[in-house]
Amino acid sequence: MSEIKFGMQLPVQAQSRIMADEWEHSAGSAEMLAVAQAADRNGFDYVGVCDHVAIPRDLAPRMTTTWYDTVSTLSWLAGITERVRLASTVYIVAYRNPLLTAKGFSTLDSLSGGRAVLGVGAGHVVAEFEALGVPFKQRGRLTNEAIVAIRAAFADEWGAGGLGQSPRPVQPGGPPIWVGGSTPAALRRAAELGDGWLPQGPPEQGMPAAIQEIRSMREAAGRADLPFAMGGMARLYVGDPAWEVGPCVSGKPDALADSLAGLAAIGVTHAQLKFPARSATELVDQLSAFGSEVVPLLA
């Protein structure tokens, strides 16, 4: 079996009703701590935290207004975990001056012993851009420019020219920059500027074709030999659920391992996993079962 790593979106932190399970809406830091530490114990490569600053009133019924601050939450996670990487999945870099982003993630990398991952995205909430004084129609260009500037600041204390930044990141060259999104622009951005790709929803052309497109664009850009984290997604439930879990792969550990092997076969190196659950306790139990029963089959 090809090697595949796996991560997860931290529950509770982002409570969009599209993504969050019902139990998350009445949960808080205690539940986030339990899940993060379970991921840390059970071989997860990363836990992810996403980003919104302020939700407009008309979108609040669907998105809710509960979105814990990304850098604050990742910094808190650095102190309560030991091994798991700390990823933004994703951070809207167009909202901030690139030096602010570089400072936050360099510091996070320093304090966590080199565990930061900067996942970036272009954003989609028009009113949020307007509230922050950022032109929505220019978000693609701003995102590309920010990636270049942040990478320069990560790589060199004086990467911004006459302005220096310390503490320095632990990882050589700074935290890897993964690009989120499933649009053609996001795929190109990942291929030409990123160190990885985080799909957000199935790409229109399907995962195998999207992966091949990214590979071809990386080859054309002369970047094919650089390390690259190719993302994928999977919903899993270890065992036979006694309730309606929705579309997912469930059952014996072999079935779950085979589904991840299928992702690895098309080129996925980092699968973001979602385990449906009715409580934080059930989710922690799922992570523990995955770690003890499925992970050994992936070695």
To the nearest whole number, what is the mean pLDDT of the chain?
97
Mean pLDDT for the stretch of residues 52-69: 98
Banded model confidence at residue 211, pLDDT cuts 50, 70, 90: very high
CB 36, CB 85: distance < 8 Å: no
Full domain range(s) for residue 70: 5-298
Tell me what the mean pLDDT of segment 46-51 comes to. 98
Task: Please name the residue that has the structure tokens 């309730």.
Answer: 243
Taking the C-alpha atoms of residue 194 and residue 58, their distance in angstroms, rounded to an integer, is 33
Assign residue 218 the CATH number of its domain: 3.20.20.30
Residue 299 has pLDDT above 90, yes or no: no
Tell me the pLDDT band of 1, cut-offs 50, 70 and 90: very low
109 in Cβ contact with 174 (< 8 Å): yes
Q: Give the model confidence (pLDDT) of 246-264 as tens digits.
A: 999 999 999 999 999 999 9
**Total number of domains constituting the chain:** 1
Helix and strand counts by DSSP (H, E) for the chain: 11, 10
The stretch 38-55 carries a mean pLDDT of 98
- Please report, rounded to a whole number, the percentage of residues in the chain having pLDDT higher than 90: 98
Average pLDDT over residues 8-17: 97
